[in-house]
Structures are given as C-alpha cells and as structure tokens.
Amino acid sequence: MKPGYANWVDVNGDYKISDAIGEDDRTFFGDPNPKVVGGFTNLFSYKDFSLQILTTFTLGRDIMNQSFAQRMSNSFFYANPFDLARRSIGDMEQYSYWKQEGDNAQYPAFNPYLALYTWRTGQSMFMEPGWYVRIKNVNLTYRFDPAKHGWMSRAKLNTMRLYATMDNVLMFQRFSGIDAERVDSQGYDMADGYPLPKKFTLGIQFDF
C-alpha cells in the first residue's frame, strides 16, 4: 500500500486483499432498493385556464456511478495519457482525488499506473445517493367557452382548447451522474446512450 492508492478493507482478516476463492474480501454494502417510490399530480384552475403538474420521486436508495468508474478505468488502464483525453473526463479538479500526503479524498490518485483494479465499478467509493424528485410533465390549457365566444357557434364548434405541454421539466438529485432514474435492478446507473430529452408540444383540440 502506497500513498494515494485505494484504501481497500481486509474483510476476512488474512492480511491480503483478494477476490479469489477462499481469500475473498468482497462484501455487501449499500442498498439499490428504494424505501419509497411515488408521485403526485397537481391541478390548478383559474377561469378558463388549467395547469397540471406531474411529479415523480424515489427515495432511500444507493446508486453505483458505473459510467464514471468505466471512464476512469478505460482512461488509466493502459497507462497512456492520451487515453484520458479520449475519454472526455474534463476538468479533473471537480473531483475529490488524492494529491499529496494528508489528503482525505474520495478517490485515489489519478495515477495511470494504478490500472484496472483501482477503478473497478463494484467499490464503495463509487456509491452515491440515489434519491431524486422529477417534475415529469407540465400542461397548460385554455378552454374556449362557447358562451363567451360566439364565433364558435358560427364555426359549428362544440368544444375547443389550446394546450402547451413540457416533458422532463426538472430533476432534483444529489447523484453526480446524468440521471438518477436510469438505474438497473442492481443499482448501477445506465448512462450509456442519450439522456432523456426535454420535449415541448403545442396543440389545439376541437370537435364539431
């Protein structure tokens, strides 16, 4: 063990760090199962306007930041500094990593020669809070009242409404990854591919 190396725990007390059969130091930590999952809808009305907001939430679970671990592993595995640039890690100073003796950091030294085992995903240093609150949908509607709009009877319209909808409005989370909702059953984030986009819809609905 050298300064800046990952500080693994000798779980079985044999003075070796290993995941081999009979020497296994792996253990359970965290919980990917949420304690509370739910949502609620609010409907506000004023005269001919209505505003509907759908919010969903998940509370009390842990997430493994798999995408970050994989990027770091792929960046440092071959001890090639050019790999780091190819993986688009970005500003290294945004991470709490070991730089000098006395540092109490979340991650070990960004040393390309620490290689594969330091950045394996299934380690507690990649575990993060998995709760989130997402404003999933907002819908604003204006309904035309035939009693107020005489042109509707002339146009033979029974009902008519204008609406604007926004999907994936806002996300509240402590998870440092892209989306705390996109997690598999084991608690590993699924950041590969595109994140959920914001969508805007404008429409008109009427019937004769």
Q: What is the reported pLDDT for 151?
A: 82
Return the higher-pLDDT residue of 180 and 69: 180
Residue 201 pLDDT more than 60? Answer: yes
Q: What is the reported pLDDT for 76?
A: 64
Which of the residue ranges 105-109, 151-155, 161-165, 191-195 would you say has the lowest mean pLDDT? 191-195
pTM higher than the cut 0.85:
no
pLDDT digits (tens, 9 = 90+) for 153-179: 888 888 889 999 999 999 999 998 889
Q: What is the reported pLDDT for 137?
A: 96
Each as own residue / partner, the long-range contacts of residues 67-70 (CB below 8 Å, 24 or more positions apart, any chain) are: 67/177, 67/178, 67/189, 67/191, 67/192, 68/126, 68/176, 68/177, 69/119, 69/120, 69/121, 69/123, 69/126, 70/119, 70/121
Percent of residues, the chain, with pLDDT higher than 70: 88
